Structure 1
Amino acid sequence: MRTGEPLPEVGAVLSALATGLWHWDTAAGVVSVDAEAARLLGLPAEPTVLTEAQVRARLHPADWNEITGVVRLAVAEGTLAENRVRVMDERSRVVRVVRSRSKPSFDPVRKAYELIGTLQEVTEPSPGTPAGRSAVTGDWRRSREAFLLDAGRALAEARSTEEVLRVAAGLSMPGFSPDGLAVFGMNGDRLTVIGHHGQQMPDDSPFPHMPLDTDYPAAEVVRTGRAVYLTSPEEYRSRYPITWPLAEHFGRRSWAFLPLVSGGRTMGAWLAAFSYPVTFTPDERSVLTTVARMLAQALSRAGAAETQRELTDGLQRTMLPMLGPGIPGMGVAARYVPTGGGLQVGGDWYDVIPLPSGRFALVIGDVQGHDVRAAGLMGQLRIALRAYASEGHRPDAVLARASRFFYGVTQADAGSDDSRFATCFYAEVDPVTGTVESARAGHVDPVVLMADGTALIRATAGGLPLGIDPDSDYPTTRLALEPGDTLMLCTDGLIETGGHDLFTGWLRLRAILERHRGDLEALADALVQAVHGPPSHHVPGPLADRREDDIALLLLSRRSTEGGAVPVPVRRTMLTVAQAEPERIATARRHLRDLLHDWTDEEQRDAAVLLLSETLTNVLVHTDADALLVAEVTGEPGGRRIRVEVTDSGADLPHRRSPGEMASSGRGLLLIELLAHEWGVAPRGGSKSIWFTIYESAAPGPDAGAAGGGGAPSV
């Protein structure tokens, strides 16, 4: 190059040196490579953008895990990240070894790494030799520290024996990753296989029945508490000639058997087997020993937690009722799923109680807390509710008595600050008529899945949770289940699991309810499975394994008429608006909007809500009575009818008024006459009802006028 000539481009210089450029953005999950880097990765020699999964598929799994560890260390220390990685072909054979050098940076806002580096081909030494290990790992000690940090974190998060074994199978040790793993335990005087990976155990395997005095490396490790390292098949055969045939057919070249020690007691042995010779240097033995120690602690924690979960889950389930023969004309399904954390015991419960009148009571509730005390209080409260219900009390009296009882129980320990409360929903069901009378103590409202697939929250009157005020009142609410309707009662764990609040959780459940077409048991399973989410970062498994609340679910379905067909598609809602609760007008509007959620004409839906507000407000302003709302949608989509009726105990009939321009009232009946297809006022002895009808189509359907009025108001 002559003096004064421009320097060639960086890419051209690197290409001439057989060096490729690459850029990795972990936030976007993509890796950009130039033509030379693509060639080194075994791809066509042209610039391209790859996903992390595509790059990972080209590299040895152990090397990919090593890269992530070295990158974190390099960012923490402010140094370059250097690795030697093996590039694999489609048959998982090593085609070349490349050196990766990069300067990584970490963005705390995006919580992501960004790397810009080079790739250059190098010569691969023989695996298993010191030179080979150095070539693969680059910096052995730094890689070892990163590996042990990741392994410790992953094993600490494992919450069951199965998860611990899954984590152990996925560990890639820096420079000498085993491809065969087994964990041995003890059962009396015999060796057991807790789990294995990378090698298929034959059906007639002698390992699960091997006495501890057998001349086998794992048995010796359990007996003595000392590790056994076998660097070659010849050494294995000479030291353990009797059991060598058991290991021979697996085709391994080196083996490490390490004791699993927890609390000073040897609880088993861990086998790491290699398909190439390993000399087990002091550094390698140090890593294996550390992993074995962490593995023993993880298995000990998981075993204790599983035993505790079995005991507490068994206790909880024995306190829940068997549903028995069921309710005549009704279908019942129930589910209980304990929390995934802590003692896995809590205060959620459900119950189905036969009543002396021939009716049945459905109860669902949640005692505050997730501990043994919560479970004990739940058991006492459930027994008390059963006793009060069996005495024949109405729902409001049952909850009032239960609240006094629970208040007394929680206050009995005068020296304790551990006062508890409980939410509860109590419903008395008439299986003949489908009528449900309910009372609610701070619990979430029930949901009704109608026969046409529409799911609505049924707002019910309620009082304070049980145990807060011994003199609380619990007003009752009546609703009717039509043939084919399903009533859903649940605790808030079903709604709020997965980071949802009551609103977003309800939207999630509503979608499941409205698209379900199976039987009641399948619906219960679908609702419970809705809480499952993506696996965690370190330990695969459903999000339900890490839930923070229990789930109790109770479904009651009123069977359809003979032949399983519902005669006419009907949606109905009932609601009482008391003089002292004018805020329930907003609840009534929400009920009506939910009832008309798929109405084709949005203006008609708004008109119906407006007229409902007018009629309810008219009752509360001009009478001293409470208002009872009954709204009903009938017919097929496209030709349906909504009939809204508001009843009160006032004797005075409404009349048309001619309000002036500045008047603030008196336009209610004018609006009804203007917006409704039909309306009227019906005297009912000492009470009256105002009703109006709107048809989904512009012209009334074939049954128009059946309710009276025929388009002309009747007052």
Structure 2
Amino acid sequence: MRTGEPLPYVGDVLAALATGMWHWDTATGLVTVDAEAARLLGLPPERTTLTEAQARARLHPVDWNEITGVVQLAVAEGTLAEVRIRIMDEHGTVLRVVRSRSKPSYDPGRRAYELVGTLQEVTEPTPGTPAARSAVTGDWRRSREAFLLDAGRALAEARSTAEVLRVAGGLSMPGFTPDGLVVFGVEGDRLTITGQHGHQPRDMNPFSHMALATDYPATEVVRTGRAVYLSSPDEYKDRYPVTWPLARHFGRRSWAFLPLTVAGRTMGAWLAAFAYPVAFTPDERAVLTTVARMLAQALSRAEAAESERELTEGLQRSMLPSLGPDIPGMRLAARYIPTGGGLQVGGDWYDMIPLPSGRFALAIGDVQGHDVRAAGLMGQLRIALRAYASEGHRPDAVLSRASRFLHGITHEARDQQASDQRFATCLYVEADPATGMLEIARAGHPDPAVRMADGTVMMRPTAGGLPLGIDPDADYPTTRFALEPGETMMLCTDGLIETGGHDMESGWRRLRAILEDHQGDVEALADALVQGVHGPSSHHTTGPLADRREDDIALVVLCRPGEGCGCGDVVTVRPTVRRTLLSVAQDEPERIAEARQHVRELLHDWVSADQVDSAVLLVSEMVTNVLVHTDADALLLAEVTGDTCGRRLRVEVTDAGDDLPHRRRPGELASSGRGVMLIELLADGWGVDPRGEGKSIWFELYESGEADAGGGVDIEMDIDVDVDVDVEAALEAGAGEGAA
């Protein structure tokens, strides 16, 4: 400058400093480099233009991903983008490490980045040398604290031995990093290998099951509980000449063997081997010792958790049955999923019991609680149910005896601990495979659901009593209906319905949609029901799902093969007939509400809401008249036939009475006589058929094909009374919700 000569070009100065320049425009996808940058990239030293793919091929894939993230951050913060990049040759070998510094900018109009920067080779000091240690001396404490904090967090989050070993293998210690790790355990008087990193599995065979009396560093650590540091091969050879030949061929230069100690007990040893000499300064030994302590704690937690999980899953698996042999004429699938929190045991169960009559029984239930006590009671109750069923008792007697049994054993527990009062819900089904006839007794459990052959899904209300164990003298009435060919029945505990914040109503709607849409066999349907609530699971009856569950789940799916069931090899077209059958006894007026619910579910996709309300009103009227005006029981048969928007509903109510209904004109204050008038007003057709002993009164409705805006039944009559008194009498007797 004093001589007045011009300054050299910037490119010449950078070249003299072994620094290259580059330019990258993401809009064109081209990267331009000068001669020095080309040399650093492993290309001929001349100015050239590369495509993004060509430039990317010269960089380590991990570093390329880091570049894109750094560029976006630099643009957002208005700073320089700086990153270290490993340059690769065509064989995938690292040629050198370079530092890239650039000033990126973003053009919103072109939606592209433009970068101008430099490349400069980074000379890495040899690991383990004074230069390497001096490079981190100033930040040693900060780096060590950050490393230990990250390592402790990662090891604390590891849930299994495999995860702990994976975390240990990925540890990168500040200033010195081992390239070989081995975790040794102890089994009797032998050394075992729990896991390793940086070795071929067969290379570790000589060290597996080595006697603790052997002259080897790891065995000495286990025997004494003191660490062994070997800074050089000569030191290793001098101190352990017997086992030095086994370690020599690995080519390592330094070794650290540290005890894995928990609660004062040495459970094993940890080997960290280095490919370069390490002096093992006090700071380095402190880091290794701290890592060994954290590793021992993590392994201890993982082993305890795995032992507990294996024990509880084995306990639960031993209490749950296999489904046994195939049932001629039936297809059966079951699933059990324990709760996601705490112990993997609970009180839910299912069972399939062969009966002396040639029939079989299905039982599903839920003992209160999610602990070992609940699992124990579940096992006892399941055995008791199986014993009572095998003796040939009917479903009501099986549940009555089971309730007395559970009340007895929980009463003893209450005498010892007042807070331990348990009960159980249960649903017991006796099935005849030949006819499909089911006889059901229920103890406080959710009702079964049935998917008909045409895909219609209905909840099947069944008679029931108190949960088991509450009242030793409780009665359990039974309900009989037939599972028709092509129909599928689902039994489940409330965990499948109510999990995920749902109540019984919203949870049932969710399951109903799955049942309606599924067209596979019973195994696929069982998986679909579980996955629809909790996500993917296995085909096993036990085992945790990935997500966290509020309650255990037990599920049984029973199918009678036929068209629409999906149990055969060929999926056939679903028929267009759906029907429901319900018996209402004289002493069961509350079941009139169930009859109304049956009809509503049968017409769940009916176009006209007014017609649905009309059908429900007429069914309530017809069944109520049987209970009020005869001494017989009422048998309701409802059937839907035809295609959508052209369907017909036919309802028959049969009883054993001889009196035929006839039309009357009741006075204004009359308490009855309007049933026939309602049928004439609302039905498209009706009639009465004598049946020898008794009669059958029926009506038909034809789907209108037009949706109604309103939801009620609009009836104009020449009488000034709104509700049939016959219906009111049934409601006063306990029939449930209003009929109109």
TM above 0.5, yes or no, is: yes
Equivalent pairs: percent with the same residue? 64
Equivalent residue for 2:620?
Answer: 617
Q: Residues 353-372 of structure 1, C-alpha deviation per residue, up to 9 Å, x if partnerless?
A: 23344322110111112333
Query: 2:340–2:544: 8 Å Cα contact kept in structure 1?
Result: no
Change (3 A) 1:145 1:481: farther
Equivalent residue for 2:557?
Answer: 555
The answer on 1:219 being equivalent to 2:228 is: no
Aligned positions of 1:387-406 closer than 5 A: 387-406=387-406
Supply the AA of the counterpart residue of 2:614.
L
Q: CA deviation at 1:434?
A: 0.6
Give 1 or 2 for the bigger CA radius of gyration: 2
Equivalent residue for 1:32?
Answer: none
Equivalent residue for 2:294?
Answer: 294
The answer on 1:671 being equivalent to 2:675 is: no
Change (3 A) 1:56 1:326: same
Equivalent residue for 2:466?
Answer: 464
Aligned positions of 1:277-316 closer than 5 A: 278-316=278-316
Distance 2:177 2:397 in 1: 68
Query: 1:84–1:137: 8 Å Cα contact kept in structure 2?
Result: no
Aligned positions of 1:116-515 closer than 5 A: 125-126=124-125, 127-128=127-128, 132=132, 139-174=139-174, 176-202=176-202, 205-231=205-231, 236=236, 239-240=239-240, 243-244=243-244, 246-247=246-247, 254-274=254-274, 278-339=278-339, 341-412=341-412, 413-414=414-415, 415-451=417-453, 456-495=458-497
Change (3 A) 1:366 1:278: farther
Query: 2:614–2:682: 8 Å Cα contact kept in structure 1?
Result: yes
Equivalent residue for 2:76?
Answer: none
Please identify, of 421-430 and 451-460, the stretch whose mean Cα deviation from structure 2 is larger.
451-460
Query: 2:338–2:544: 8 Å Cα contact kept in structure 1?
Result: no
Distance 2:526 2:144 in 1: 48
Distance 1:547 1:137 in 2: 50
Query: 1:478–1:574: 8 Å Cα contact kept in structure 2?
Result: no
Q: Residues 524-552 of structure 1, C-alpha deviation per residue, up to 9 Å, x if partnerless?
A: 556556676599xxxxx974485554443
Change (3 A) 1:84 1:568: closer
Aligned positions of 1:692-703 closer than 5 A: 692=700, 694=702
Distance 2:544 2:83 in 1: 33
Equivalent residue for 2:694?
Answer: 686
Distance 1:593 1:128 in 2: 80
Q: CA deviation at 1:237?
A: 5.5
Query: 2:607–2:704: 8 Å Cα contact kept in structure 1?
Result: no
Q: Residues 105-135 of structure 1, C-alpha deviation per residue, up to 9 Å, x if partnerless?
A: xxxxxxxxxxxxxx99996652445765786
Q: CA deviation at 1:332?
A: 3.0
Q: CA deviation at 1:374?
A: 1.8
Distance 1:671 1:656 in 2: 17
Query: 2:683–2:701: 8 Å Cα contact kept in structure 1?
Result: no
Please identify, of 515-524 and 313-322, the stretch whose mean Cα deviation from structure 2 is larger.
515-524
Query: 1:573–1:591: 8 Å Cα contact kept in structure 2?
Result: no
Change (3 A) 1:498 1:296: farther
Supply the AA of the counterpart residue of 2:428.
Y
Query: 1:494–1:531: 8 Å Cα contact kept in structure 2?
Result: yes
Equivalent residue for 1:58?
Answer: 63
Query: 1:656–1:669: 8 Å Cα contact kept in structure 2?
Result: no
User: What is the count of residue pairs matched by the alignment?
Assistant: 605
Change (3 A) 1:235 1:532: farther
Over the aligned positions, Cα root-mean-square deviation in angstroms equals 5.1
Equivalent residue for 2:9?
Answer: none
Distance 1:250 1:490 in 2: 59
The answer on 1:591 being equivalent to 2:601 is: yes
Change (3 A) 1:57 1:653: farther
Equivalent residue for 2:649?
Answer: 643
Q: CA deviation at 1:218?
A: 2.7
Equivalent residue for 1:31?
Answer: none
Equivalent residue for 1:603?
Answer: 607
Distance 1:155 1:682 in 2: 79
Change (3 A) 1:518 1:568: closer
Query: 1:455–1:514: 8 Å Cα contact kept in structure 2?
Result: yes
Change (3 A) 1:614 1:319: same
Distance 1:682 1:203 in 2: 89
Instruction: Look up the SS of the partner of 1:470 in the other structure.
Output: coil
Change (3 A) 1:180 1:667: farther
Query: 1:84–1:138: 8 Å Cα contact kept in structure 2?
Result: no
Query: 2:561–2:568: 8 Å Cα contact kept in structure 1?
Result: no
TM-score (norm 1): 0.69
Query: 2:455–2:574: 8 Å Cα contact kept in structure 1?
Result: no
Supply the AA of the counterpart residue of 2:700.
F
Distance 1:531 1:343 in 2: 21
Instruction: Look up the SS of the partner of 2:269 in the other structure.
Output: strand
Query: 1:629–1:645: 8 Å Cα contact kept in structure 2?
Result: yes
TM-score (norm 2): 0.67
Distance 1:232 1:515 in 2: 70
Change (3 A) 1:638 1:582: closer
Supply the AA of the counterpart residue of 1:441.
A
Q: Residues 444-495 of structure 1, C-alpha deviation per residue, up to 9 Å, x if partnerless?
A: 3333344556655444343332223334443433332222433332334445
Distance 2:63 2:358 in 1: 70
Supply the AA of the counterpart residue of 1:672.
A
Distance 2:237 2:517 in 1: 63
What are structure 1's unaligned runs of at least 5 residues? 1-17, 19-34, 46-53, 68-81, 101-118, 536-540, 597-601, 699-715
Query: 2:454–2:574: 8 Å Cα contact kept in structure 1?
Result: no
Aligned positions of 1:108-119 closer than 5 A: none
Query: 1:260–1:269: 8 Å Cα contact kept in structure 2?
Result: yes
Q: CA deviation at 1:406?
A: 1.7
